[in-house]
Structure 1
Amino acid sequence: MVRTGAIIQVRSGSERLPGKALLLLPFGSGPALLAHVVDRAQQASAIEQVIIATTTQASDDVIAQFCSDNGIACFRGDAEDVLNRFAAAAAIYKLNIAVRLTGDNPFIMPETIDAAVQQHLQAGVDYTITEGLPLGTNIEVISFAALQKARTAATAHSDREHVTPYIRRESMFKTQEVPIASDIKKLRLTVDYPTDYALASLLYSNLYKPGHLFGFPEIAQLLQQYPWLAAINEGNTQRKAFANEQEELEEAKRILKLGGFDKTLQKLEK
């Protein structure tokens, strides 16, 4: 029998929004942001267990305490070697399939998780990622065998501080993208900056009710009513873990083109 679990990577440290995982959502009245991530993951029918993977640093004792207070499985590992932390958590909890989530994405949808896991199992691949959804709501699914191979073989620091770049890059792994259409694809639904938290709080204050998981249709309807909501955090940029140098180069070209830096772009292309 295939055992599938969700592993939520989370730590207290954040340069732009310290302690964001335990901020109340909505502001001042709701459960912790991390509690929403856990709740949404637990509602996916494909998920048998939710595990929080945090670090052994003293600053993350509050995360471990949160897990203890709420009866959530917790694994603590190296702060920098996230690949090893993630793979070790999957091994200890005997997962065959791991869904990778992060503690700053409170808008993940259970139906997206279920669709991604189903497509992963049907295709018999090592790695699956959805694409086409708002930032912070796409889902990664990784087979345990692939995690173990990457854990053993990856040596670059950039591959160890992130979980999936090595798997996405190396030809030994079978990967797939699962496109999902969305009317709000351009919306930023991750919490990395104060303005991200402001948008999340406004959305949750209007849509959240205990016991009810709102979805993309409700968000889209609210945006139709208040289109200015999308402008709250649209200027924020996202750090990205590139699978290889070529991918990073293409992203640099795209940004230069958008900014009108034609001369710099021409030099880069040469």
Structure 2
Amino acid sequence: MDCMVNKVATIIQARMGSSRLPGKIMKRIGKKELLWYSANRASKAKLVNDTIIATTVDSRDNTVFDWCKTNGFPVFRGSEKDVLDRYYNCAKEFGANIIVRLTSDNPFCDPEIVDQLVLELKKSKSDYVSNRVTKRTWPYGLDAEVFTFKALKHAWEQANKEHQREHVTPYILEHSEYFRLLEVPLDENLSNFRLSIDYPEDFEMCKVLIEGYNAHEMNWREIIDLLKKHPELVEINASRIDSKL
């Protein structure tokens, strides 16, 4: 284990077994797979030392493992259902003191947001920082969580409910008596924009944005400005905005 002081690792959870869009992370948009867009954008964060793909030991995810090796991304394999355990052991193996949690179905995740949250964690000396606030203001698909390894270890040791193991951070959020939590909302409510990929309509919108507008080369503000100028793009997946995903 690398024991670099304040080593920051972005861990992107990725698996082939999506119930709504099976194998979505390996679906191609343009010349690249969906996973590439998520991992490539995340890797541009200036305050992050490693960007790691955390997949599962399920044989279906051999594809993810092989893809990571081919594309030069560090990869870790762990439990499929106990994602908290997967994150803990991944962070431990890579010697991370601070962990950024992202998901592989957010191809427009923004390195600027990641750096902002990492900086907030360090400045505030919090245990957990996120833009996934109680009342959503950020667009769907730009969510990020940053937390200390100490907090992750505490959760890993104490979490004993299924949802706490499956979703990584619920134990931390449900036990604020043990952790210093910080939320980072936007001044403007942009929750009517959806950039995550959970449904066919989401994938279609992503495809149009990348292939038609090179949105993968834009920062998140530029993407939102584009959507404001082209409301017909927002309509592609507008029916999914109220989803709690």
Q: Does residue 1:174 correspond to 2:175, yes or no?
A: no
Q: CA deviation at 1:182?
A: 4.8
Q: Does residue 1:206 correspond to 2:212, yes or no?
A: yes
Q: CA deviation at 1:226?
A: 2.1
Q: What amino acid is aligned across from residue 243 of structure 2 in structure 1?
A: Q
Q: CA deviation at 1:91?
A: 0.4
1:119-268 to structure 2, matched below 5 A, reads 119-130=120-131, 131=133, 132-170=137-175, 171-182=177-188, 184-208=190-214, 213-236=217-240, 238-239=243-244
1:114 aligned partner: 115
Check the 8 A contact 1:154/1:166 in 2, yes or no.
yes
* Alignment RMSD: 1.6
Question: Which whole-Å CA distance do the structure 1 matches of 2:47 and 2:151 have between them?
Answer: 19
1:87 aligned partner: 88
1:62 aligned partner: 63
Q: CA deviation at 1:15?
A: 1.4
Question: Which whole-Å CA distance do the structure 1 matches of 2:25 and 2:77 have between them?
Answer: 16
Q: CA deviation at 1:239?
A: 4.7
2:18 to 14, 17, 23: 14
| Partner SS for 2:21 | coil
Question: Which whole-Å CA distance do the structure 1 matches of 2:11 and 2:214 have between them?
Answer: 24
Check the 8 A contact 2:102/2:143 in 1, yes or no.
no
1:262 aligned partner: none
| Partner SS for 1:179 | coil
Check the 8 A contact 1:133/1:181 in 2, yes or no.
no
1:5 aligned partner: 9
Q: TM-score, normalised by structure 1?
A: 0.83
Question: Which whole-Å CA distance do the structure 1 matches of 2:118 and 2:243 have between them?
Answer: 26
Q: CA deviation at 1:30?
A: 2.6
Q: What amino acid is aligned across from residue 79 of structure 1 in structure 2?
A: E
Q: CA deviation at 1:98?
A: 0.4
Question: Which whole-Å CA distance do the structure 2 matches of 1:65 and 1:193 have between them?
Answer: 25
Q: CA deviation at 1:216?
A: 2.7
- Deviation per residue, 1:18-44 (Å, 9 max, x gap): 11111112xxx2311111111111111
Considering only CA atoms, is the larger Rg found in Structure 1 or Structure 2? 1
| Partner SS for 1:233 | helix
Question: Which whole-Å CA distance do the structure 2 matches of 1:201 and 1:53 have between them?
Answer: 25
Identity percentage over the alignment?
A: 37
Structure showing greater relative contact order (alpha-carbon pairs closer than 8 Å, 6 or more residues apart): 2
Question: Which whole-Å CA distance do the structure 2 matches of 1:66 and 1:182 have between them?
Answer: 38
Q: TM-score, normalised by structure 2?
A: 0.91
Structure 2 gap segments, 5+ residues each: none
Structure 1 gap segments, 5+ residues each: 241-270
